[in-house]
Structure 1
Amino acid sequence: MASLTRTLPASWYCSSLLYQLERRAVFMKAWYLLGPVTRFNVVGERVVYEIAQISVTACRMSGASIDIKVFDESTGVEFKSHITGTGLVFSTISEDAPSFDDFFPDLQPLINTVDFTKLPYRRSIKYEGKFNWKTMVDGYQECLHCQYTHPSFSVFYPPTFYTVYNHKNFSQHVADPKKSGDGLFLYFFPNCTLNVYGGGMSSFRVCPTEKPGITRMEFDYYHLETGDKFEEYFKFVRQVAMEDYELCEKAQENLEKGIYTEGILNPVKETGVAFYQQRVLDLVCAQHESETQSPPNIVHDGDHRNTMTASQLVEPASS
């Protein structure tokens, strides 16, 4: 019998030292969805983000829709950014990130199915939750909880045929593989999502803070309609988001109690979780190995290299 995939240890959801490794290994080397070009309609208006303690500013520089620049808010240095042919804006937060095409080599065919330049920006909200960033990504990447936790969503997208297709650095969620036009649901490693359905689009960023048990959620909403039509859509998607929020806070409580250490992932229904957790594990272990071979206390991206041992990567660690 083939061995079953196990989860990351619970300690990875509770350790400040581990998060600093994640920050260097994962977040500094990734690309982030900032939104469609309609998020940046006003020339000269600065839209500010904060990802892994890096302040990011995006701004439309002229009347041209593709003239959008992304800067480090504190230094003014321009980050590498990319605008897709259908109008999605992505950015890095470090020179350590590879090229966009290397990071998302097979993304283009999927996002070509939607013209994001036609989805007007409507609203953004953000707030903090008492959970680790991976706790929220775990929830997004599996569908076992949907029938119980999201009864209204399950009416439109029943989990019976729910499937997750994993690519190099993103996942596509499909409610029914037989319905090619059944919405577009994407997870971008490590912490961004894009959900197009019901005449609108929502996207959120799961932004880690320096405290491993606190995460800031940032949501952006786009819709073809205004007024009551948009408010109806907004109410529906916010209900789903708050159901996830409550579930994640309860899950984090259990992770921090020290009773649960790790478990087994469902080989059919939790392939999305296995995919992203393996990416985190591989990158963090590679970073740890490279840093242990370097002289200690070398400053890197504003942080001193930590002194975690190899055993601490897989054993319970205090925050």
Structure 2
Amino acid sequence: MESLTRTLPASWFCSPALYQLERRAVFLKSWHFLGPVTRFQKRGEQLKYEIAQVTVIVENTSPEKEGIDVDGITVCAEDEGVKIKSRLTPSGLLFVALSLEAPDFEDFFEGLEELTNKVDFTKLPHRRSISYEGRFNWKTMIDGYQECLHCQYTHPTFSKFYPPTFYSVTNHKNFSQHIADPSKKSDGLFLYFFPICTLNVYGGGMTSFRTLPSANPGISRMEFDYYHEGSDEEFEEYFKFVRQVAIEDFELCEKAQENLERGVYGEGILNPVKENGVRFYQQRVKELVYRQHALEKAAKDEKSNTVQVHAEMDGGSKVIAVQ
């Protein structure tokens, strides 16, 4: 049993101090998926995205006559003068980094474009977006997405089309691919982008969501975008189907967070096969947080040592103020 991976402790889902460390370690140093280029088809419309208390503005400035011109998508931070890095993949997917500390896109998502370039994401028009808060930590929702052990009893409608018997997760560098049914490779692309974004192509349409953290670790904001090229009636049928799955997950997450905060659940052992997706992302969070903590501690120790040296050189006759 010692060789099996344990989950993150409940404190990682409830502690404000740990979230602030996550913010610096994970969110400010990652790339975040905003949507396919069709999300930004309206000229002059500024779309705002708030991720980990950083607001990003996206606008399509290309001439109307040129259709959806990928070169016309501009991305900036709301704070004036702050540079921001963005990436529009050849297949039409827009990603953004919240700070210059994020690595290069190709390094962060190594091998991702090889997979996404097989799909033309410029074809499905944006149909609807919704947003609302949930009483759960961002990791509580990602826990549920990254495994399908709960699918059979929580998502009976989804399981009818994509039996959990075949469900598997393949983890790559900062992203995961979910295979719902090997016999339906043309209808079922499920991608998780570390840390909080997903892209799901199934049932004739496409949906993505972001689980956006707040300063209160027990609260997240869910943002969903829906894409479909069918008639209004066909879209509403698709929307009803995918919303049912989302509502089922939402209710499960709120109950799970409640148990975490009450101390009903502390930590446990992850199934090495059925929960390898959870293990992958949680270990990534843990690795980055530990690294950030070590960096900040080293910087603090170095500053303290420098102050001490100056004090000793000065004979201790002056009080040294540390800002």
TM-score greater than 0.5 by the shorter chain: yes
Aligned to 2:215: 210
Matched, 1:27 2:32: no
3-state SS, counterpart of residue 168 of structure 1: coil
Aligned to 1:125: 130
Output aligned runs, 1:159-198, within 5 Å: 159-198=164-203
Distance 2:128 2:265 in 1: 38
Distance 1:62 1:227 in 2: 28
Deviation at 1:156, TM superposition (A): 0.5
Output aligned runs, 1:16-95, within 5 Å: 16-63=16-63, 64-75=69-80, 77-95=82-100
Cα deviation, 1:151-181, whole Å, max 9, x if unaligned, reads 0000000000100000010000001234432
Distance 2:109 2:255 in 1: 33
Deviation at 1:2, TM superposition (A): 6.5
Deviation at 1:108, TM superposition (A): 1.3
Letter in 2 for 1:248: C
Distance 2:38 2:6 in 1: 41
Deviation at 1:55, TM superposition (A): 0.6
CA contact (8 A) 1:174 1:182 kept: no
3-state SS, counterpart of residue 20 of structure 1: helix
Distance 1:213 1:45 in 2: 32
Identity of aligned residues (%): 68
Q: CA RMSD in A?
A: 1.4
Distance 1:145 1:34 in 2: 27
* Range 220-229 or range 6-15, more displaced: 220-229
Matched, 1:102 2:100: no
Distance 1:36 1:282 in 2: 30
Aligned to 1:144: 149
Distance 1:169 1:219 in 2: 21
3-state SS, counterpart of residue 233 of structure 1: helix
CA contact (8 A) 2:187 2:203 kept: no
Cα deviation, 1:128-173, whole Å, max 9, x if unaligned, reads 0000000000000011000000000000000001000000100000
- Count residues with an aligned counterpart: 297
- Residues 76 and 118 (structure 1 numbering): CA distance in 2 closer, same or farther, change over 3 Å? farther
Aligned to 2:261: 256
3-state SS, counterpart of residue 117 of structure 1: coil
Q: Which runs of 5+ in 1 are unaligned?
A: 299-319
Deviation at 1:76, TM superposition (A): 5.0
Cα deviation, 1:172-209, whole Å, max 9, x if unaligned, reads 00012344324100000000000001221100000000
3-state SS, counterpart of residue 35 of structure 1: strand
* Range 56-65 or range 33-42, more displaced: 56-65
Matched, 1:288 2:276: no
CA contact (8 A) 1:126 1:218 kept: yes
Letter in 2 for 1:66: D
Q: TM-score, normalised by structure 2?
A: 0.89
CA contact (8 A) 1:125 1:220 kept: yes
More helix by share: 2
Q: TM-score, normalised by structure 1?
A: 0.90
Deviation at 1:124, TM superposition (A): 0.4
| Correspondent of 1:158 among 163, 168, 172 | 163
Deviation at 1:227, TM superposition (A): 1.1
Distance 2:110 2:182 in 1: 22
> Which has the larger Rg?
2
Q: Which runs of 5+ in 2 are unaligned?
A: 64-68, 304-323
* Range 108-117 or range 282-291, more displaced: 108-117
* 4+ residue runs over 4 A deviation: none
CA contact (8 A) 2:70 2:88 kept: no
- Residues 244 and 139 (structure 1 numbering): CA distance in 2 closer, same or farther, change over 3 Å? same
CA contact (8 A) 1:120 1:223 kept: yes
Letter in 2 for 1:74: D
Distance 1:259 1:125 in 2: 32
